[in-house]
Chain A
């Protein structure tokens, strides 16, 4: 059974970088079929796909246009996890952030991490 465990701070100051980690058990971040994804949810934006990383003989990354200039999603093969880094945050980045697996890179997500509420405030 695949499980995703999120970690990271719940409070980030404006202009700083939001960083979260998602630890994977029961699968590999280097899977040649899965894609590892970050999604966020806020009252103003609803559920919003942010980006993904996946391995197909080499590493690939796709990012949402809305955050493309500020986002990095990195795999960590040593610890079998992946991370989200979102720079230059503003209060509009306040949201619950979820990691999720796209098992066959089809576009649907299972499972999801437990979610992390990140508040951007000074």
Chain B
């Protein structure tokens, strides 16, 4: 099973600042990586798939990069609605696995 490790666990950022979230895979997942945003009491929301392809309707301030075992989600200028927990997920190998999440909180 591929283990996905996200860092940091919590990221404190001021509105308008840039946020950089990391996701590491225990073995290569090529580019088969997705990112989700999750707010309390809501359904998780797909942000990025294929490492860098934005899902329909996702603002351009969300971008993804990386390959192999190291991936990054960047939020270029944090808006108030972006404070949430973010999860990465690999779909290169079965079983599909998720990271433990990064909570982005208001500084």
| Residues of A bordering B, CB below 8 Å | 4, 46-49, 62, 64-65, 98, 106-115
Contacts of B44 in A (CB 8 A): 98, 109, 112
Q: Chain B binding site: helix, strand, loop or mixed by DSSP?
A: loop
The answer for the CA separation of A47 and B45 in the assembled complex, in Å, is 14
Query: Pick the contact of A115 from B32, B43, B55, B100 — CB < 8 Å?
Result: B43
The answer for the CA separation of A17 and B99 in the assembled complex, in Å, is 28
Interchain CB contact under 8 A, B98 and A107: no
Query: Pick the contact of B96 from A49, A65, A98, A112 — CB < 8 Å?
Result: A49
Query: Pick the contact of B43 from A48, A49, A107, A114 — CB < 8 Å?
Result: A114
Closest CB of chain B to A19's CB: distance in Å?
A: 20
Tell me whether B87 is interfacial, beta carbon within 8 Å. Answer: yes
Contacts of A49 in B (CB 8 A): 95-98
Query: Pick the contact of B91 from A108, A111, A112, A113 — CB < 8 Å?
Result: A108
Query: Interface extent on B, as a size class?
Result: 20 to 34
Tell me whether B72 is interfacial, beta carbon within 8 Å. Answer: no
| Residues of B bordering A, CB below 8 Å | 32, 34, 36, 42-46, 49, 55, 87, 89, 91-92, 94-101
Closest CB of chain A to B10's CB: distance in Å?
A: 16
Identity of the chain A residue whose Cβ is nearest the Cβ of B90 in the assembled complex: A107
Interchain CB contact under 8 A, B32 and A46: no
Query: Pick the contact of A47 from B42, B46, B92, B98 — CB < 8 Å?
Result: B98
CB-CB under 8 A for A65 and B95, given A46-B100, A110-B55:
yes
Closest CB of chain A to B78's CB: distance in Å?
A: 23
Closest CB of chain A to B37's CB: distance in Å?
A: 11
Contacts of B99 in A (CB 8 A): 46
Closest CB of chain A to B9's CB: distance in Å?
A: 12
Closest CB of chain A to B14's CB: distance in Å?
A: 28
Interchain CB contact under 8 A, B95 and A64: yes
Query: Pick the contact of A108 from B43, B89, B97, B101 — CB < 8 Å?
Result: B89
Interchain CB contact under 8 A, A108 and B34: yes
Contacts of A109 in B (CB 8 A): 34, 36, 44, 46, 89
Contacts of A107 in B (CB 8 A): 32, 34, 91-92, 96
